[in-house]
Amino acid sequence: CWPRTSDKNFKTVSVNAWVEESEGEPGLVLGLRGEPYWLLPGKSGGIRNFALRAECTHLGCIAPWNEVQQKFVCPCHGSQYDPDGTVLRGPAPHSLALAHVEVVDKGNARVR
C-alpha cells in the first residue's frame, strides 16, 4: 500500500513505482520528520521537484486532491488550493507550504 517507505531515518519513495501507482494524481508521502506531503506528478513524466504540505493552512486537516475539480479541497471547512498549492478559497489564510523533493540514489526521492 502507498506510501512505501524505506530506511529508518529518511522516508524515501521509488520515483518509478510512484509514477506507476499514482496514475497522474498527487500522492501522499512522509517528509523527513514524518510530516505529510503531496508528491506531484511531473508535467512530462516523473515527479515535480517540489512537494506540497498536505495539511490545510486553516486548522491543519489533510486536504486531498479532487480529480474532478482539479484542486485540493479541504473536507473540514472547504478551503481550496490549485494544483500548485495556491489558495483559491478560504478560510485558509495561506497557500500550502512547499518542500524540496530530492532524488537520491537508485531513483529514490525524499522530501526535505
Question: Which residues are near ligand FES by CB under 6 A?
Answer: 56, 58-61, 74, 76-79, 91-92
Minimum distance, C-beta of residue 26 to ligand FES, in the bound complex (Å) = 16
Nearer to ligand FES, 59 or 104 (CB): 59
Nearer to ligand FES, 7 or 82 (CB): 82
Question: Which runs of E-coded beta strand occur in 1-112?
Answer: 13-14, 27-30, 36-39, 50-53, 65-66, 71-73, 80-81, 87-89, 98-104, 108-111
Minimum distance, C-beta of residue 54 to ligand FES, in the bound complex (Å) = 11
Task: Map grid coordinates 498536505 to a residue.
Answer: 54
Minimum distance, C-beta of residue 59 to ligand FES, in the bound complex (Å) = 4
Nearer to ligand FES, 18 or 37 (CB): 37
CA torsion sign, 84 to 90 to 93 to 22?
negative
Nearer to ligand FES, 97 or 103 (CB): 97
Beta-sheet pairing, 13-14 with 50-53: unpaired
Minimum distance, C-beta of residue 38 to ligand FES, in the bound complex (Å) = 14
Task: Map grid coordinates 478559497 to a residue.
Answer: 89
